[in-house]
Structure 1
Amino acid sequence: MNTIILANYRVNKDTMALLSVAHPDYHTIAIETDRKLYIRKTPFQLIKAACLKGGSTYEGRRAAVTYLTGAKHKVPIPINPFEQIYAFPTSSPTQFECCWIFHNHVETISRYQQNKTLITFKNEQQLKLPVSYYKLEKQMYRTAQCIIRFTHFSNEKPFCMPRNIPELIHY
Structure 2
Amino acid sequence: MKYVKDYQISLTTMGIEAVYHPEYNSRIYDVNGMYYTGRTNQELLDQACELRCTDYNGRINAVRKAFSYDKKTPLVICPIEMIYAIPTKSPKDYDCKWIFPDHIEKLLRKAKHPQILFKNGLTMEINCSYNTFKKQQERARNSLIHFFILVRERSTYRIK
Give a deviation string over 1:80-116, Cα, whole Å, max 9, x none: 11111011111111111011100111122121113x0
Once the two structures are superposed, the pairs formed by residues 122-161 of structure 1 within 5 Å of their partners are 122-158=119-155, 159-161=157-159
Match of 2:132, SS state, is helix
Match of 2:60 in 1: 62
Which of residues 34, 37, 41 in structure 2 aligns to 1:36? 34
Post-superposition, which runs of at least 4 consecutive aligned residues in structure 1 deviate over 6 A?
none
Secondary structure, in 3 states, of the residue corresponding to 2:110?
Answer: strand
Displacement of 1:161 after TM fit?
4.0
Root mean square deviation, CA, Å: 1.6
Distance 2:76 2:32 in 1: 23
Q: 1:73·1:92 contact (CA, 8 Å) conserved in 2?
A: yes
| Larger Rg, first or second structure (1 or 2) | 1
Shift of 1:150: 1.2
Given that 1:44 and 1:94 are in contact with CA atoms closer than 8 Å, whether structure 2 keeps it comes out as: no
Query: Residues 11 and 46 of structure 1 are in contact (CA less than 8 Å); yes or no, is this contact kept in structure 2?
Result: yes
Decide whether the 8 Å contact of 1:69 with 1:149 is kept in 2: no
**After the TM superposition, which residues 81-92 of structure 1 pair with which residues of structure 2 at under 5 Å, given as runs?**
81-92=79-90
Alignment partner, residue 51 of structure 1: 49
1:79–1:157 CA distance, 2 compared to 1 (3 A): closer
Q: Which amino acid aligns with 2:12?
A: D
Letter in 1 for 2:93: Q
Alignment correspondent of 2:12: 14
Tell whether the 8 Å contact from 2:2 to 2:34 is kept in structure 1 after alignment: no
Matched letter for residue 120 of structure 1:
L
1:7 deviates by: 3.0
Alpha-carbon contact 2:97-2:126 (below 8 Å) kept: no
What percentage of residue pairs aligned between the two structures are identical?
A: 30
Amino acid in structure 2 at the alignment position of 1:119:
I
In 1, the alpha carbon distance for the partners of 2:52 and 2:154 equals: 20
Equivalent residue, structure 2, for 1:97: 95
Q: Structure 2: 5+ residue runs without aligned partners?
A: none
Point out where structure 1 has 5 or more consecutive residues left out of the alignment: 163-171
8 A Cα contact 1:29 1:39, kept in partner? yes
TM-score calculated relative to the size of structure 2: 0.91
Which of residues 19, 23, 26 is equivalent to 1:25?
A: 23
